[in-house]
């Protein structure tokens, strides 16, 4: 049954839920207030009845103190009859020790045994007794007289004073009946007013919904208006605007990434097709076919590296790249990487220099790959005869690794994107495809060795365009950050790694 009610509740709109909530709260408040008032009125009636009953019981007690002989009981009856004149609904019954009636008002037909039992219990308050068609609030007591028996003990009588509470009950019944109608009317009025107030209060939310419906993949730059919104909804709208900004940025990057990857894959695929078509255009020797296959193998290897790098970046984006930390001698690690690039640097007349010393908790293979990418980038863009410097510097609670080379200055607008996937500062991104076209033209007239190895040399030298993006992912996986600076022909990539 609870599941059914939960399903019914889910089918309600927010305005309906709020209206029902307001109605429930208003009804509960009215019912609670009515219960408090009813209890207060009831207690007031009880207090009035007790005042009357206590006063009459005190009068009877004083009158019994003057009863010294049995004959005085007759005068007592007359005195009580006179004192009760004008008290409508008040009944008094006076019994002796043998439960004989000494005095009784016209309608005091209480059960003597019940009177005696109630008086012997000596309860502090009154009790309700139904009598015929009426209900009485009765106060019973056992009182002593001045008459003494043969043993010298004062004789006792039993007194019951009751007051008809029918008019009180009738009033309370009418009051509760009126209360129920008032609560019902208040609930209906609350529903009407709450519905109007909720619709008016939710009007900005409906306006936000209308604005949000106009946002599409082609209009991610649209933002929700914050003017004239309540504070709570303004905060919600601002959060949605921030989300839209993140989505727009991610969508832009995804679109650029899709375009870049299509371009990067198109070039090697085009080269493979071109070389294969040229090779099949006429009969060739086994060495010619071997050269073509070797060239194709290089393209396949490049594509395989690109896919492996993209898989690594995808894992890094989802936090699946977990470093295996160990204590590393950073100077030794940098020397190992520099030794690898030493021959290539000599070919370009470059000098490799390391300064500083430090230790760091990091993943050895991942860190070497990040350093290799930075040094490879520096070697590729450094001018001949310059020095590539790798500096290790211990700061307060982190290690800074900087790689500096001399070459062309990177424009400030490009510095913000150098770590993006497939981004290259050099706009000549079609060179590989152009070389492939040249290779096709030369292949028919050139020797097999030139045809097999001249195709796409520039593209192979440039790599996959993912090196710096992978470096950033590795640094971020270690909890660090990487930045780039370029000014007056000097470019520096800096890694700041916290001391784990």
Q: What are 67-95's pLDDT values in tens digits?
A: 766 666 666 777 777 777 666 778 888 88
- CA 76, distance to chain mean position in Å, is 82
SS3 226: coil
Q: Give the integer Cα–Cα distance in Å for 15 and 21.
A: 10
Q: Which residues pair with 483 in a beta bridge?
A: 494
For residues 139 and 57, the answer to whether their CB atoms sit within 8 Å is yes
Tens of pLDDT, residue by residue over 422-474, are: 776 655 443 443 333 343 333 343 333 333 333 223 233 345 677 888 888 88
Q: Is the pLDDT of residue 59 over 70?
A: yes
In the three-class reduction of DSSP (H, G, I as helix; E, B as strand; rest coil), residue 282 is classed as coil
Neighbouring-strand partners of residue 101: 95
219 secondary structure, DSSP code = G
Res. 332 pLDDT band, cuts 50 70 90: very high
List of domains in the chain: 10-173 (3.30.450), 281-498 (3.30.565.10)
> Is pLDDT at 392 greater than 90 in this prediction?
yes
Of 275, 307, 321, the C-alpha closest to 452 is 275
Query: What confidence score (pLDDT) does residue 382 get?
Result: 93
CB distance 267 to 433 below 8 Å: yes
Q: What are the backbone angles phi and psi of residue 281, rounded to the nearest 5°?
A: -70, -25
Q: Which is more confidently placed, 282 or 67?
A: 282
When pLDDT is averaged across residues 303-313 and rounded to a whole number, the result is 75
- Say which residue the tokens 């070797």 belong to: 294
CB-CB neighbours of 191 under 10 Å:
16
| Calpha distance 85→55 (Å, rounded) | 14
Q: What is the pLDDT of residues 482-493, one digit of tens each?
A: 999 999 899 999
Cβ(222)–Cβ(244) below 8 Å: yes
pTM > 0.85: no
Question: Is pLDDT of 282 > 80?
Answer: yes
* Cα–Cα distance for residue pair 365/354, rounded to 1 Å: 20
């Amino acid at each position: 049954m609870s599941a059914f009610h939960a399903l019914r509740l889910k089918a309600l709109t927010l305005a309906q839920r709020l209206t029902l909530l307001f109605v429930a709260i208003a009804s509960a408040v009215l019912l609670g207030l009515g219960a408090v008032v009813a209890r207060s009125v009831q207690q007031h009636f009880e207090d009035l009845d007790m005042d009357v009953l206590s006063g009459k019981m005190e009068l009877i007690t004083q009158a019994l103190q003057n009863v010294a002989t049995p004959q005085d009981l007759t005068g007592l009856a007359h005195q009580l009859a006179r004192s009760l004149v004008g008290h409508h609904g008040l009944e008094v019954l006076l019994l002796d020790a043998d439960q004989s009636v000494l005095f009784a008002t016209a309608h005091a037909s209480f059960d003597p045994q019940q009177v005696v039992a109630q008086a012997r219990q000596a309860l502090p308050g009154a009790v309700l007794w139904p009598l015929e068609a009426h209900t009485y609030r009765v106060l019973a007591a056992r009182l002593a007289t001045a008459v003494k028996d043969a043993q010298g003990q004062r004789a006792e009588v039993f007194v019951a004073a009751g007051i008809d509470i029918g008019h009180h009950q009738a009033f309370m019944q009418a009051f509760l009946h009126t209360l129920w109608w008032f609560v019902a009317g208040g609930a209906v009025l609350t529903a009407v007013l709450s519905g109007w107030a909720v619709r008016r209060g939710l009007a900005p939310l409906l306006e936000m919904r209308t604005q949000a419906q106009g946002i599409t993949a082609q209009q991610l730059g649209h933002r929700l208006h914050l003017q004239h919104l309540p504070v709570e909804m303004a905060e919600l709208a601002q959060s949605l605007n921030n989300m839209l900004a993140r989505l727009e940025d991610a969508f832009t990057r995804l679109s650029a990434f899709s375009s870049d990857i299509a371009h990067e894959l198109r070039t090697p695929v085009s080269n493979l097709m071109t070389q294969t078509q040229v090779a099949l255009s006429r009969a060739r020797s086994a060495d010619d076919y071997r050269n073509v296959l070797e060239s194709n193998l290089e393209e396949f290897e490049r594509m395989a590296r690109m896919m492996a790098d993209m898989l690594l970046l995808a894992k890094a984006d989802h936090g699946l790249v977990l470093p295996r930390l160990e204590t590393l001698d950073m100077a030794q690690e940098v020397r190992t990487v520099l030794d690898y690039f030493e021959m290539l640097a000599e070919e370009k007349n470059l000098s490799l220099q390391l300064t500083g010393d430090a230790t760091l908790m990091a993943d050895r293979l991942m860190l070497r790959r990040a350093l290799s990418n930075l040094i490879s980038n520096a070697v590729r863009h450094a001018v001949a005869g310059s020095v590539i410097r790798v500096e290790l510097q211990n700061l307060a609670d982190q290690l800074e690794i900087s790689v500096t080379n001399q070459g062309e200055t990177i424009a400030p607008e490009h510095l913000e994107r150098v770590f993006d996937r497939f981004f290259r500062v050099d706009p000549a991104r079609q060179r590989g495809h152009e070389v492939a076209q040249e290779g096709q033209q030369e292949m028919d007239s050139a020797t097999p060795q030139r045809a097999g190895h001249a195709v796409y040399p520039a593209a192979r030298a440039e790599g996959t365009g993912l090196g710096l993006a992978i470096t950033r992912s590795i640094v971020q996986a270690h909890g660090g950050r990487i930045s780039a600076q370029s000014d007056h022909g000097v470019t520096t990539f800096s890694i700041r790694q916290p001391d784990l």
